[in-house]
């Protein structure tokens, strides 16, 4: 359908032309203003390569250029903001940068970013109280934005208002959990290592794991273990941080703390309450958590034997450790089977276990070895397992643990088979081990 409107009056035609011309002029003026203001206030043009933070100013967009635009459009909050920001970037040059920031806030009172800039200028000029008020207003305008809480928290921290800053850091962290490491570091330095001041920031399992690692790096092992113990078992099992904390405790020689944290991870309450043995899982009855073997049996592949848990033959219970030697010459077992055991320093112990052989043919059978985890001290070897086919028999080994300044130390309990010469005959057959226990020997006076 076509609508044909005819205007016959010359006066009416002239009026329509004037209205169209004025309308076009207004649109052109508005478009030009939007283009100029948009171009001069585009932060990407002022930063090299469109970076989010200034590195090298773009010479085509400087304070003089923005000032010219502001002379033409004095009621643009964006240009006032951009000019104040550019003056801050130019090492704080410009006596009127605070005035431009204030004018930007007046023209756009509900834009929290303008108040953030104003606060930065006010603090740089020594007006910290005014800066705090500007940021508190910005927080009220954007309560769900992490960056504004972060800025206010840092300002309060610089003013020595530790408790108030902690509350703001907590709000920022709820919006962005990536802020936690920096927050912990800032508050740690500000509080001179007061763990209680950082506690309010840790309110979920992920944060607890981060905090435990943070504390351990600052040599607060006991606090780290306490925080780790507060995290849920599911979260700890799923996170690689748990093993990192345990391994770091072991590397620091805090074996007792590491064992306590590990037991809280792998055992249920009934197991924790009933297990009195220093050796964990001495009868091989419980499954080994492959990613958390710090104080359980660590079993690795061997080129000379197949190592497994036998569910059909046992001395007691249902399972035992089974080693099937492959018959390869110069048979060697070193660290394929071992457990880290926490013990008292400078103490006499007796290690007991049971062994069974089926068709074992060997120049010298495997042995049980006890060696200090620290590397300082003597290594003790048991007698070799006898060749042939023999039913379960008890074996033992007495040893004394090395002295330690800590309240505890640790040993490695290993099953080894080391050739005495560069070549010996192949070892074949099967050996089973079961029911390892350790008992402290009382010394007579």
Question: What pTM was estimated for this model as a whole?
Answer: 0.73
φ, ψ dihedrals at 17, nearest 5°:
-65, -40
State residue 81's pLDDT score.
79
DSSP-based three-state secondary structure for 227: helix
Is the confidence at residue 316, as pLDDT, over 90? yes
Q: Exposed e or buried b for every residue in 46-73, given b needs 16+ CB within 10 A?
A: bbeeeeeebeeeeeebebebbbebbeeb
Helix or strand (DSSP H, E) at 184: helix 180-190
Domains detected in the chain: 29-142 (1.25.40.10), 202-275 (no CATH), 298-440 (2.60.120.260)
Tens digits of residue pLDDT in 364-376:
999 999 999 987 7
Tens digits of residue pLDDT in 374-386:
877 789 999 999 9
Confidence of residue 296 (pLDDT cuts 50, 70, 90): very high
Please give the Cα distance from 266 to 192 (Å, whole number). Answer: 35
State residue 49's pLDDT score.
39
Give the contacts of 228 (CB within 8 A, at least 6 positions apart).
Answer: 208, 209, 212, 236, 242, 245, 261, 264
Output the DSSP codes for 277-324.
-SSTTTT--S---TT--TTS-EE---SSEEEEEESS--SSSS-EEEEE
Is the confidence at residue 269, as pLDDT, over 90? no
| Residue 367 region by backbone torsions, left for phi larger than 0, else alpha for psi between -120 and 50, else beta | beta
For the residues 338-363, what does the mean pLDDT come to? Answer: 96
State residue 64's pLDDT score.
67
- Higher per-residue pLDDT: 443 or 371: 371
> Is residue 147 a contact partner of residue 119, using CB atoms and an 8 Å limit?
no
Highest mean pLDDT among 76-85, 266-275, 291-300: 291-300
Among 66-70, 169-173, 336-340, which is the least confidently predicted range?
A: 66-70
């Amino acid at each position: 359908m076509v609508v044909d409107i005819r205007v016959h009056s010359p006066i009416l035609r002239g009026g329509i032309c004037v209205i169209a011309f004025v309308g076009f002029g207004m649109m052109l003026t508005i478009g030009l203003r939007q283009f100029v203001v948009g171009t001069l206030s585009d932060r990407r043009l002022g930063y090299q390569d469109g970076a989010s933070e200034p590195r090298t100013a773009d010479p085509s967009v400087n304070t003089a250029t923005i000032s010219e635009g502001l002379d033409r459009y004095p009621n643009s909050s964006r240009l006032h903001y951009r000019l104040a920001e550019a003056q801050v970037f130019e090492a704080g040059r410009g006596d009127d940068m605070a005035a431009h920031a204030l004018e930007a806030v007046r023209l756009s009172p509900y834009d929290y970013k303008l108040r953030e800039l104003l606060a930065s200028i006010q603090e740089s000029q020594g007006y910290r109280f005014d800066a705090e008020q500007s940021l508190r207003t910005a927080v009220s305008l954007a309560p769900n934005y992490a960056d504004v809480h972060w800025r206010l928290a840092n300002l309060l921290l610089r003013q020595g208002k530790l408790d108030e800053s902690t509350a703001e850091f907590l709000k920022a962290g709820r919006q962005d959990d990536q802020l936690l490491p920096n927050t912990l570091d800032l508050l740690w330095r500000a509080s001179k290592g007061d763990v209680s001041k950082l506690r309010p920031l840790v309110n979920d399992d992920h944060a607890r794991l981060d905090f435990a690692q943070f504390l351990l790096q600052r040599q607060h092992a006991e606090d780290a273990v306490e925080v780790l113990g507060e995290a849920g078992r599911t979260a700890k099992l799923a996170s690689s941080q748990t093993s990192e904390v345990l391994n770091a405790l072991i590397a620091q020689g805090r074996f007792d703390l590491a064992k306590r944290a590990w037991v809280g991870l792998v055992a249920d309450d009934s197991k924790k309450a009933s297990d009195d043995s220093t050796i964990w899982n001495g009868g091989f009855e419980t499954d080994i958590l492959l990613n958390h073997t710090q104080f359980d049996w660590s079993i690795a592949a061997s080129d000379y034997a197949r190592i497994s848990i036998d569910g059909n033959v046992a001395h007691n219970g249902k399972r035992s450790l089974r080693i099937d030697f492959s018959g390869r010459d110069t048979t060697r077992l070193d660290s394929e089977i071992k457990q880290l055991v926490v013990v008292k320093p400078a103490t006499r112990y007796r290690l007991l276990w049971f062994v069974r052989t089926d068709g074992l043919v060997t120049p010298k059978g495997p042995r049980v070895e006890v060696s200090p985890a620290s590397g300082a001290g003597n290594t003790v070897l048991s007698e070799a397992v006898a060749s042939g086919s023999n039913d379960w028999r008890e074996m033992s080994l007495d040893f004394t643990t090395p002295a330690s300044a800590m309240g505890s130390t640790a040993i490695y309990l290993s099953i080894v088979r080391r050739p005495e010469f560069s070549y010996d005959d192949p070892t074949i057959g099967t050996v089973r081990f079961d029911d390892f226990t350790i008992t402290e020997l009382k010394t007579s006076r």
